[in-house]
Amino acid sequence: MPMGATLESLRGLRTRFGPEQRSAKRLWLARAARLPLDDATSLLDYHDILMFMAAYPDDGKVLRMVQAELRRVGRTAERVFQAGRQRDIRRLSDTGIAGTVLGYSFSLDMMGWLVRRFGDGVEPAWE
């Protein structure tokens, strides 16, 4: 089954709750975990669906599945940036997805905290 159909199923289920929907979410999350995430559009859509499901999980198992998939989305985004796929990099930049670039004018205090927390993962863009 293609990722698009899987995303549509998860999108339709994300706001529905109950025993049947919980089982369906588990099934579709397991299916999604076996599919490649090979384009920026799918990554963005999937990330949005997963973030909603993380905020409103049906139970601990669904939450763990969602968190595992969010980590996979982040690893995939990191690979996109490492591969230098410029078109996808532009689409994923400033989205807040783990592994992507965020450009923002942070205060000096916030930059200090970011550097302490993330070390070499923070790179100031001086003009």
**pLDDT of residue 73 exceeding 90:** yes
- pLDDT reported for residue 127: 63
- pLDDT reported for residue 38: 79
- pLDDT reported for residue 33: 96
- pLDDT reported for residue 83: 81
Q: Which of 97, 115, 96, 99 minimizes the C-alpha distance to 107?
A: 115
Which sequence spans correspond to the domains of the chain?
3-121
Contact 52, 14 (CB under 8 A): yes
- pLDDT reported for residue 93: 85
CA distance 69 to 71: 5
| Mean pLDDT for all residues in the chain | 90
CA distance 92 to 45: 11
CA distance 42 to 45: 5
Q: What is the mean pLDDT of residues 117-123?
A: 86
- pLDDT reported for residue 95: 86
Q: What is the mean pLDDT of residues 99-111?
A: 86
Percent of the chain with pLDDT over 90: 56
For residue 82, the tally of other CB atoms under 10 A from its CB is: 9
CA distance 30 to 38: 17
